[in-house]
Amino acid sequence: MDDDIPYLLLTPGPLTTSRTVREAMLHDYSTWDADYNHRVQSVRRQIVRLATDSDDYTCGLMQGSGTFAVESTIGSVVPADGKLLIVDNGAYGRRMVEIARRLHIEHVVVAHAETEPADVDRVRAAFEANQGITHLAMVHCETTTGMLNPATEVGEVVAEFGAHYILDAMSSFGGIPISMEDVGVHYLISSANKCIQGVPGFGFVVARRSDFEQCEGRARSVSLDLFDQWRQMETGGGKWRFTSPTHVLLAFEQALVELAEEGGIPARFGRYTENHRVLVAGMRGLGFRTLLRDEHQAPIITSFLFPGDDVVGAPEFEFLQFYAELKARRFVIYPGKVTDAETFRIGNIGHVFPEDMAELTNIVGEVMGGFLR
């Protein structure tokens, strides 16, 4: 770990970044500067190449957190007479439901338990029972739990009914291989501060040029108008409509360099998978149980159940004390977000490595006093 980092962020984002990514932000740029805007254009092209090999696709960048990009997409691509089907099996699916409600978009929800992956048969049944569905929105990796939804299988159903597919790939893009053509996605959304390992400040949307062009005049917001933002970048040579997060863009540009140096998305997926394997093996060795079944788990973030009465000799578990003890030893984890279970989460993404996960599990054993062994 870099000497100037007080602790490792084992969270779903913001996450631990490399020293060189942070150093990239030490330069100031004007948003009107041609050199800067050329870098914006280069970043846009590189994002597209990570999502598809086709030249038919393009990319729009949107200031703000990942949710800004999700709301921008939903609010800009669903027409006034459209109907949105939302798959909900976690907090971020429910957030899309709230976005649709606030924007007065007609919508249908296919709700699941937070420990259930999206059920393709239920998605198909929702299309059959609700005429006029034009778009479907789903989270790829639901960071509420770490659930990986069956994006390709759902995409086949969306195509069967001739709808458009919005995929929130916030926590998966850059860390899990995906091809937009293979999955059938029309709008893929992610963020600078997730698996590409940049810092927070903007999200991005990849779509076919023809799909972007269809969105003109649909936006329900000025600042979150995805079409106008994309068109400004297209016609202005990389110019943003409003103040650009210049330092964040430079950090992301460096993060893209480091992703390529690591071996691209397949290599990063391999590291994250090994991080997850080492973590789960170590935690299970201490007596902790994972919330999800292994076949439903993405290697992005892992939810663990609080130890309880099923663990012989376990005292009452106090998460905040547990959190503080780990933070004092350089590891920052995340509270749970599940409705019906007491959990905490540990992220496997960012500039962290299997040896870090092994050290963490050793420290967890020390903190817990070995009583779970």
pLDDT at residue 34 in the model: 92
Same domain, 87 and 138: yes
Domain assignment of residue 373, yes or no = no
Cβ burial of 321 (10 Å; 0-12, 13-18, 19+) is exposed
Domain assignment of residue 301, yes or no = yes
pLDDT at residue 313 in the model: 44
Same domain, 294 and 255: no
pTM above 0.85, yes or no: yes
Domain assignment of residue 249, yes or no = yes
Judge contact between 231 and 237, C-beta under 8 A. Answer: no
Task: Return the structure tokens found at 113.
Answer: 């338990």
The full DSSP string for 66-102 is HHHHHHHHHHHHS-TT--EEEEESSHHHHHHHHHHHH
Domain count, the chain: 2
H helix runs in 130-207, sequence order? 151-160, 180-183
Residue 104: other Cβ atoms inside 10 A: 9
Domain assignment of residue 1, yes or no = no
Task: Return the structure tokens found at 61.
Answer: 């960048």
Domain of residue 26, residue span = 20-260
Residue 60: other Cβ atoms inside 10 A: 27
Quick one: DSSP state of residue 64?
A: S
Task: Return the structure tokens found at 165.
Answer: 């597919």
Same domain, 329 and 189: no
Helix (H, G, I), strand (E, B) or coil at 354: helix
Domain assignment of residue 372, yes or no = no
pLDDT at residue 239 in the model: 95
Domain assignment of residue 286, yes or no = yes
Identify residue 212 by its one-letter amino acid code: F
Residues of the chain short of pLDDT 70, as ranges, are 1-5, 309-315, 370-373
Distance CA 136, CA 186 (A): 10
Task: Return the structure tokens found at 5.
Answer: 């980092």
Q: How many residues does the chain have?
A: 373
